[in-house]
Amino acid sequence: MAREKWPKPGSYTEVLSHNLCTVLKVPHDPVALEEHFRDDDEGPVSNQGYMPYLNKFILEKVQDNFDKIEFNRMCWTLCVKKNLTKNPLFITEEDAFKIWVIFNFLSEDKYPLIIVPEEIEYLLKKLTEAMGVSWQQEQFENYKINFDDSKDGLSAWELIELVGNGQFSKGMDRQTVSMAINEVFNELILDVLKQGYMIKKGHRRKNWTERWFVLKPNIISYYVSEDLKDKKGDILLDENCCVESLPDKDGKKCLFLIKCFDKTFEISASDKKKKQEWIQAIHSTIHLLKLGSPPPHKEARQRRKELRKKLLAEQEELERQMKELQIANENKQQELEAVRKKLEEAASRAAEEEKKRLQTQVELQARFSTELEREKLIRQQMEEQVAQKSSELEQYLQRVRELEDMYLKLQEALEDERQARQDEETVRKLQARLLEEESSKRAELEKWHLEQQQAIQTTEAEKQELENQRVIKEQALQEALEQLQQLELERKQALEQYEGVKKKLEMAAKMTKSWKDKVAHHEGLIRLIEPGSKNAHLITNWGPAAFTQAELEERQKSWKEKKTTE
């Protein structure tokens, strides 16, 4: 085969090599490139093209200190023009690049790279969750039904077209979709576990400044704003760090503290919910550092791959068992067929021998009677053998029927297992939906709680004013109760006076019938029993009063003067 003539160094191969070395932070060796593509009389030294040079002089020298995003962007630039669809997309080219990088992260570890339907569902769920809409499982199931069975998954460009045509983001504007793609990109590729605005206390001037915080697996970076252009510092996390909640102070609320080896950082969140979310996220990150575990999304991706491998191995094992069972069944069929042929041959031989025997019997019946008896015995033995062979054949046929029944039961068991897996998947999806509803209701309760707190704060002044009025009214009520007790005491005294007068009247009625008799008085009061007046008597709750209206008014006046004096 003729060797391919590669371009001389200085063309696009040298430019590509130089750019790769720059991005991967590998020293560029133009002499090695010149030597690799040196021409001789028979053609280029390498008949395999550029790949041997790339592996030997560039990729083998790569360390883990280069910018992976810049490397991805360079690879994207090399292949996007040729492979990206010409159809109009609902997303920008920058969003398409992020989908391409996410594809490289979620694709299977074999060439050509594809993303399987399970990972497609995972990515679309993350995007819909980031857009704040509910996941349409039925729509995705319909998409899987129409999926090409000849393919195991989608390529990077097919995935970009799937996301870009808006099939699973109907009703969303371009900016919302772009923000969702960026959020998923930050989580899966940049390992951003949490980000948001908080207020940080300075170490020198002790002032409080709002910063944009970004939490990653081993570091918290804070910036002036969310565009990440002006970085103000880092908080390096390790297994010795810890996070603690702080009480409100200096007019700052929702405080928490991050303790590191040589520094502590006081931070104020916007509300209690954000504070708890940040504390939990930082605590989980430190716990993962102690365990030496990867970020949650990478660990979940590895678990999904292991689960797919396990299911594939189980399916292959089941297919192997089915093949073994089928081979065993075929072997039994072959054995039965061989037995049947032997029986037919035996029957054929027996028929021929019988024919010969009959001919011999006709010819030698008179001469060989002894031989006739012997032939009868032989015939009886042959019949017993045929019966025995028939019984064995029936047993073999019964075994075949049992194997067929066993095969049908195995198929039913496999169908039951498949149905159980579908039921398990349905229950898992129902649990996920219930968790999402619980999360939304919890958020709504948090909102109501905040509104209630605001209402309580606004009515605090009114409550204080009502408390003052209540104290004044209680004082007035206390005075009224004291007056009522005084009146009750005076009423009891008056009742005692009335009882004394009543007893004296009863004694006077027994002693004399004359209306001119006098009755004794109590505490200086003397009252004559006179004939009833024509005017109406004063009636109390206990009967006729012992005093006249004028006397009662005089006594009331006296009580008031005493109370005024007191």
Please work out, in degrees rounded to the nearest 5, the angle formed at the alpha carbon of residue 34 by the alpha carbons of 31 and 38. Answer: 140
Average pLDDT, integer, range 319-327: 90
Q: Which residues of 468-494 are buried (b: 16+ CB within 10 A; e: fewer)?
A: eeeeeeeeeeeeeeeeeeeeeeeeeeb
Does the pLDDT at position 9 exceed 50? no
Asked if 87 and 162 touch (Cβ cutoff 8 Å), the reply is: no
Token look-up 């940080």 returns 200
CA pair distance 78, 412, nearest whole angstrom:
53
- Altogether, the residues listed in the chain come to a count of 566
Q: What is the pLDDT of residues 231-262, one digit of tens each?
A: 899 999 988 899 999 998 878 889 999 998 88
| Both tokens assigned to 398 | 């019964």
CA pair distance 429, 427, nearest whole angstrom:
5
Closest CA to 117 of 89, 159, 157, 83: 159
Lowest mean pLDDT among 90-99, 458-467, 542-551: 542-551
Choose which CATH entry (2.30.29.30, 3.40.50.300, 1.10.486.10, 3.50.50.60) describes domain 194-294: 2.30.29.30
What local confidence, expressed as pLDDT, does residue 39 receive? 55
Q: What is the pLDDT of residues 51-60, one digit of tens each?
A: 777 777 777 7
Q: What is the pLDDT of residues 475-504, one digit of tens each?
A: 878 887 888 888 888 778 877 887 877 787
Q: Look over the chain and give the mean of its residue pLDDT values, rounded to a whole number.
A: 80
CA pair distance 136, 134, nearest whole angstrom:
6
> pTM here?
0.51
Q: What is the pLDDT of residues 141-198, one digit of tens each?
A: 888 777 766 677 888 888 888 888 877 777 788 888 888 888 888 888 888 888 999 9
Q: What CA–CA distances, in Å, run from 241 to 198, 213, 219, 246, 263? A: 20, 17, 11, 16, 10
Average pLDDT, integer, range 292-318: 84
Asked if 237 and 224 touch (Cβ cutoff 8 Å), the reply is: no
Does the pLDDT at position 433 exceed 70? yes
Amino acid (1-letter code) at residue 540: T
Q: Under DSSP, is residue 536 helix (H, G, I), strand (E, B) or coil?
A: coil
Q: Which carries the bigger pLDDT value, residue 441 or residue 541?
A: 441
Closest CA to 524 of 506, 545, 497, 544: 497
Domain boundaries, the chain: 11-188, 194-294, 396-430
CA pair distance 494, 538, nearest whole angstrom:
14
**Which residue intervals of 296-368 are DSSP H helices?**
296-364
